[in-house]
Amino acid sequence: MKITKYVHACVLVEDGEQTALFDPGQFSYESGLLKLNDIKKLDFVCITHEHFDHFYEPFIKEIIGKFSNVIFYTNKSVAKKLENLGATNIKTESDNVVDIRGLEHQSMAPLAPLPMCENIEIHYKGIISHPGDSQKMQKSLGKILFVPLAGPWGAPIEGIRMADRLKPQYILPIHDWMWNDQWRRTMYDRMETYFKSQNITVLKPVDGQTIEVNI
- Banded model confidence at residue 112, pLDDT cuts 50, 70, 90: confident
The domains located in the chain, with CATH, are 2-204 (3.60.15.10)
Question: Which pLDDT band, with edges at 50, 70 and 90, does 115 fall under?
Answer: confident
Query: Closest by alpha carbon to 172, among 18, 2, 52?
Result: 2
- Three-state DSSP class for residue 99: strand
Give the C-alpha separation, 186 to 202, whole Å.
Answer: 13
Strand order, beta sheet including 19-22:
90-91, 71-73, 44-46, 19-22, 11-14, 2-5, 210-212
> Please, what is the average pLDDT of the chain?
97
Q: What are phi and psi of 2, to 5 degrees?
A: -105, 130
Q: What percent of the chain has pLDDT over 70?
A: 100
Alpha-carbon distances, residue 181 vs 27, 158, 206 (angstroms): 15, 21, 9
Residues 159/176, Cβ–Cβ less than 8 Å: no
- Contact by Cβ (8 Å): 5, 207: yes
Give the residue-averaged pLDDT of 34-51. Answer: 97
Decide: helix, strand or coil at residue 2: strand
Question: How much is the pLDDT for 44?
Answer: 99
How far apart (Å, rounded) are the C-alpha atoms in residues 121 and 104?
A: 9
pLDDT band at 47 (very low <50, low <70, confident <90, very high): very high
pTM (2 d.p.): 0.96
